[in-house]
Amino acid sequence: MNAKCQFKELAGARLSGGESFIMQGRHFLQIPGPSPVPDRILRAISMPVIDHRSAEFGALGRHVLEASKTVFKTEQPVVIYPSSGTGAWEAAIVNTLSPGDTVLMAETGHFATLWHQIAVKFGIEVEFIPGDWRRGADPATIEARLTEDKARRIKAVMVVHNETSTGATSRIAEIRKAIDAAGHPALFMVDTISSLGSVDYRHDEWRVDVTVSGSQKGLMLPPGLSFNAISEKAFAASKGNKLPRSYWDWQDMVKINATGFFPYTPATNLLYGLKEAIAMLHEEGLDNVFARHKRLAAACRAAVKAWGLEVLCENPAEQSPVLTGVLMPQGHDADRFRKITLEKYNISLGSGLGKVAGKVFRIGHLGECNELTLLGALSGVEMGLAAAGVPHRSGGVDAAMALLRDGAAQGQAPVAAVA
């Protein structure tokens, strides 16, 4: 056995099949999350752990619990779990629903499907509005279905804001209107795991009842924290529902959070990072952050179009600011392309998931991403397409540059003056 430093394979090598490769230089992590973690945050999470029952921790706890609300745009409680986002999905369900309850979900893609499956595991009846994975949830369909539901059997409408598997967003404000138009009392639960901190989102204004989120996307943290923002109505529902729960239970969490503490040991070092991450978002300004994501996404789509490839999301109004799903030409395997591109150009792209596996690859452009990072990544894709023999036209990077240049000229510059 040879003497390798543990960091080597983490930082410098990429393993492929039975071989190992040394990839030189900075890795381009262009998957739609985990997104690259800024240096400031990596340094913050490496500070020594403190006593989670100390006054010092209480101050940290109060800070991050309050600061988190500004990102969800809510005045209501936000709870933070030491878990990945999957846990926060489960938390939303076990706190508000009871076995046999019916919910309405929309099949926007792989992650909507996974959330659906979790609900089923807990005995929930899911009406799953079918979808082709190329658009967001349709407000009109939801309104129609709720209007039909005279018996008010539907306890909740559950929608994924940004479908990480496809790059299609759902129009949450319009779905809120749809629910209102139907006059339906269902809870409204939204997964923002891959949109929070990257796409405009308004928990209170849109009267969402439970917003689910995670740390490793727009919040630019490593995975390991997840969130539920909770409306008064949802919190009330949690008192009567029948699913057994402990770890995910809101009651203890909200009560103890009031003092800045947690009912069980929190992931202290990730909370250090959360504090730093929210500070960074506000230094840039949330609106600037959202504009930047839109601008970069438009540039990415311009590149895809120039290559002669197809963006998976068909509805321009729903194309994601966070990632772009790209359809491979018939007969070309997306995973072979991704593997070649990784090995030649040291860039990770997202795979197709679920029913688009092998047919789609995804380009993440979220979190700590800027013009040049994106253009470097698009260069990798363009060269990778050539290396993998995927039919395409060149000129994608040029098209992206043209758009970013024009964008800049229109005053959408990345530069925000600060006092």
| Residues from 249 through 278 that contact a copy of itself (CB under 8 A) | 249, 264-270, 272, 275-276
Could you tell me the sign of the dihedral formed by the alpha carbons of 18, 23, 28, 34, in that order? positive
Q: What is the DSSP string of 243-310?
A: ---STT-HHHHHHHHTTT--SS---HHHHHHHHHHHHHHHHH-HHHHHHHHHHHHHHHHHHHHHTT-E
For residue 56, count other CB atoms closer than 10 A to its CB.
11
User: Judged by CB under 8 A, which stretch of 146-154, 171-179, 228-236, 391-399 contacts a copy of itself?
Assistant: 391-399
From the list 47, 72, 34, the residue with the least C-alpha distance to 212 is: 72
User: Judged by CB under 8 A, which stretch of 229-237, 306-314, 321-329, 410-418 contacts a copy of itself?
Assistant: 410-418
In angstroms and rounded to an integer, the radius of gyration of the C-alpha atoms of the chain is 22
Smallest separation, CB 313 to a copy of itself (Å): 21
The residue from 131, 379, 389, 391 that contacts a copy of itself (CB under 8 A) is 379
The residue from 90, 138, 174, 318 that contacts a copy of itself (CB under 8 A) is 90
For a copy of itself, how many residues bind (rule: CB under 8 A)? 135
Q: State the Cα–Cα distance between residues 340 and 286, nearest whole angstrom.
A: 36
User: Among residue numbers 59 through 78, which ones bind a copy of itself (CB under 8 A)?
Assistant: 59-60
Of 125 and 368, the one with the shorter C-beta distance to a copy of itself is 368
Is the separation of the CB atoms in 142 and 191 below 8 Å?
no
Of 59 and 140, the one with the shorter C-beta distance to a copy of itself is 59
Rule CB under 8 A: say whether 214 interacts with a copy of itself: yes
Rule CB under 8 A: say whether 239 interacts with a copy of itself: no
Smallest separation, CB 356 to a copy of itself (Å): 15
Smallest separation, CB 78 to a copy of itself (Å): 18
Q: State the Cα–Cα distance between residues 65 and 231, nearest whole angstrom.
A: 15
The residue from 69, 70, 82, 333 that contacts a copy of itself (CB under 8 A) is 82
Rule CB under 8 A: say whether 111 interacts with a copy of itself: no
The residue from 369, 388, 390, 392 that contacts a copy of itself (CB under 8 A) is 369
User: Among residue numbers 13 through 52, which ones bind a copy of itself (CB under 8 A)?
Assistant: 13-17, 19-29, 31, 33-34, 36-40, 42-52
DSSP H helical segments within 109-208, as ranges? 110-121, 139-148, 172-182
Smallest separation, CB 178 to a copy of itself (Å): 28
Smallest separation, CB 139 to a copy of itself (Å): 28
Based on the number of CB atoms within 10 Å of its own CB, is 159 exposed (0-12), middle (13-18) or buried (19 or more)? buried
Q: State the Cα–Cα distance between residues 249 and 268, nearest whole angstrom.
A: 20
Residue-level length of the chain: 419
Per-residue contact track with a copy of itself, 282 to 311, x per CB under 8 A? xxx---xx--x-------------------
Rule CB under 8 A: say whether 345 interacts with a copy of itself: yes
Smallest separation, CB 135 to a copy of itself (Å): 25
Q: What token pair was written down for 106?
A: 């929309």
Rule CB under 8 A: say whether 174 interacts with a copy of itself: no
Residue positions forming the annotated binding site for substrate: 362
The residue from 382, 388, 390, 392 that contacts a copy of itself (CB under 8 A) is 382
Q: DSSP code of 75? A: S
Phi-psi region of 220 (alpha: psi -120 to 50; beta: other; left: phi over 0): left
Distance from chain centroid for Cα 39:
20
Phi-psi region of 18 (alpha: psi -120 to 50; beta: other; left: phi over 0): alpha
Rule CB under 8 A: say whether 103 interacts with a copy of itself: no
Of 152 and 405, the one with the shorter C-beta distance to a copy of itself is 405
Q: What token pair was written down for 127?
A: 């009406």
Of 12 and 358, the one with the shorter C-beta distance to a copy of itself is 12
User: Among residue numbers 146 through 165, which ones bind a copy of itself (CB under 8 A)?
Assistant: none
